[in-house]
Amino acid sequence: MNSTTPQPETVKAYLEALRRALKGAPAGLISDALGDAEDHLNNEIAAQPELSEKQILASVIDTYGTPEEIAEEYRHMENTIAGPFPKQEEPAERHYGFFNVVGDPRTYGALMYMLLSLATGIFYFTWVVTGLAMTLGFMILIIGIPFALLFVGSVRVLAHVEGRLVEGLLGVRMPRRLPAQMAQDESILTKVKDALVDVRTWSSMLYLLLMLPLGIGYFVLAVVGISVSLGLTASSLWVLITDDASHIHISDVPWLQHLFHTAPGLILLALVGMLLFFVVLHIARGIGWFHGRIAELLLVRL
């Protein structure tokens, strides 16, 4: 560490220095690094109650490393661990054209996510709404507070599982460490207070609730887009091969209906279907990027 750089004397200062050192890294990586460092430092402080926080930090920095050294180590590990998609630096020289989207693995990951989002959205929405209703109902009973803690814990676990889906299918780096557990020596009222003031508790709930309308939209776009594009292409080619156009009805306009019962019209219709398929792939990739930003904003705590 540079001799002119003062050593952090508190956990808060250490974490702030680590956050600055990791500036520009993926939000999920920063979240993991901060969480690991905070747990390690708090454990060291708890294990040596006879020493001051400043003394413990000075000792830990010698063994654990400075914020800059830890940041460099995490960046190195991130570069060596292969994710579900190629690293962003590797395809930088590639120029994606309109039709090259078919070779992008993120496209198919996003399509899979769109198809799954209806089921996950219904489950998340039902879980949160039911959990909130039961939590409020149980507040008048002695089991109200323990149930509230259990519900908050389940929301954190669901948010972590969703983060793994987002990273696995959309290629957006999300936190890989499980949510931090509440300290065992805290009173139950303190645990409730910590859960209520934790912004991630509410942002995670908001995300899980949003997944229902988003999931419906994603699912409809994926199913309708793929069905229409493939249907147009396949039916046009089928008629060209079999000369059976009795089941194709495009429009009530006579000349337009006649056009699509001729070979040039059918070829044009097949080309439109193929073009629409590529449009759907571009939409899927765009939705993957868009939803990844939402997940980073609501599920990642920095």
- Co-location of 117 and 229 in the same domain: yes
Domain for residue 184, yes or no? yes
- Co-location of 282 and 164 in the same domain: yes
Q: What are the DSSP calls for 114-176, one per residue?
A: HHHHHHHHHHHHHHHHHHHHHHHHHTTSTTHHHHHHHHHHHHHHHHHHHHHHHHHHH------
Q: To 10 degrees, the CA torsion angle through 159, 164, 169, 170?
A: 70
Domain for residue 93, yes or no? no
Per-residue model confidence (pLDDT) at position 126:
97
Domain for residue 94, yes or no? no
- Co-location of 113 and 248 in the same domain: yes
Q: How many domains does the chain have?
A: 2
Domain for residue 23, yes or no? yes
Helices vs strands, H then E, count in the chain: 10, 0
- Co-location of 160 and 298 in the same domain: yes
Per-residue model confidence (pLDDT) at position 111:
95
Q: Is the pTM of this model over 0.85?
A: no
- Co-location of 139 and 283 in the same domain: yes
Q: To 10 degrees, the CA torsion angle through 241, 247, 248, 253?
A: 140
- Co-location of 16 and 114 in the same domain: no
- Co-location of 151 and 293 in the same domain: yes
- Co-location of 108 and 60 in the same domain: no
Domain that holds residue 200: 103-302
Domain for residue 280, yes or no? yes
- Co-location of 219 and 112 in the same domain: yes
Per-residue model confidence (pLDDT) at position 93:
46
- Co-location of 70 and 150 in the same domain: no
Domain for residue 1, yes or no? no
Q: Contact, 109 vs 169, CB < 8 A?
A: yes
Question: Around Cβ 265, how many Cβ atoms within 10 Å?
Answer: 19
Domain for residue 260, yes or no? yes
Domain for residue 3, yes or no? no
- Co-location of 163 and 300 in the same domain: yes
pLDDT tens for the 302 residues of the chain, in order: 444 567 788 888 888 999 999 988 888 899 888 888 888 888 888 888 888 888 888 888 888 888 888 999 888 888 777 566 655 444 444 555 777 888 888 899 999 999 999 999 999 999 999 999 998 898 888 888 888 888 988 998 999 999 999 999 999 999 888 766 555 555 666 666 766 777 888 999 999 999 999 999 999 999 999 999 998 888 788 777 876 655 565 655 565 566 666 777 778 888 888 999 999 999 999 999 999 999 999 998 76
- Co-location of 65 and 130 in the same domain: no
Q: Contact, 281 vs 222, CB < 8 A?
A: no
